[in-house]
Structure 1
């Protein structure tokens, strides 16, 4: 399997738990700091499409920036394209960790948003 891409924030305890889980399961990954190397709109749009999740799931809804920008009220009226463009402006808006696992056959990657151990266990079994 090609290396997964693990997008995280160094000071995030959930990211630390996810990293420990990946290491404990012997899953190879390249780590990328979500704040210093924010995903761009093309990456986010592709991951959103591959995930099958609503765009809202990609937002760090408990983050200070999300609250300061009043996104709880603004997000429902945004198109997916507008939301992706907004996410691309600041890594602190993006839910973390993000794990992008390439498909063995070159198809759509597996995209895991946030760390839920049972979900990761099932997706990476």
Structure 2
């Protein structure tokens, strides 16, 4: 079953969940604020997607970081920073089988779910 990671009040997450539900695609939802993924999972996301795709540099949280904290997001400290500030993770993140998507693109989701 696909797992969608996000924040319930995020417009893009709501749009994605509505899209999945309207097509009868069951999924698990993980609230990033309440259930931050383990370091190993975030590290795998960073390895697969890269920091540029995974980190939401337009978020309010990112804008509140000082320069040294922002610089750490591109280095070895990225995993701990994303665990400490899960709202820095671009949303939603979809994990399903061998697929990992970030953000919502109707075209991508249609291709992935064959609908």
TM-score using structure 2 length: 0.84
Distance across 2 between alignment mates of 1:97 and 1:82: 22
Distance across 2 between alignment mates of 1:47 and 1:27: 23
Distance across 1 between alignment mates of 2:54 and 2:89: 6
* Counterparts of residues 6-21 of structure 1 (less than 5 Å): 6-21=4-19
Distance across 2 between alignment mates of 1:86 and 1:65: 11
Deviation for aligned residue 1:28: 1.8
Q: Is the 1:56–1:75 contact (alpha carbons within 8 Å) kept by the matching residues of 2?
A: no
Is 1:87 matched up with 2:85?
no
Q: 1:78 to 1:61 in 2, by over 3 A?
A: closer
Is 1:122 matched up with 2:111?
yes
Q: 1:111 to 1:77 in 2, by over 3 A?
A: closer
Deviation for aligned residue 1:76: 8.3
Q: Aligned pair count?
A: 114
TM-score using structure 1 length: 0.78
Moved over 4 A (4+): none
Q: 1:17-61 CA distances to partner (integer Å, 9 max, x unpaired)? A: 000111122222111101111122211112333xx3222211122
Q: Is the 1:87–1:93 contact (alpha carbons within 8 Å) kept by the matching residues of 2?
A: yes
Aligned-pair RMSD on alpha carbons?
2.3
Gaps of 5+ in 2: none
Gaps of 5+ in 1: 103-108
* Counterparts of residues 102-117 of structure 1 (less than 5 Å): 102=97, 109-117=98-106
Residue among 36, 39, 43 paired with 1:38 = 36
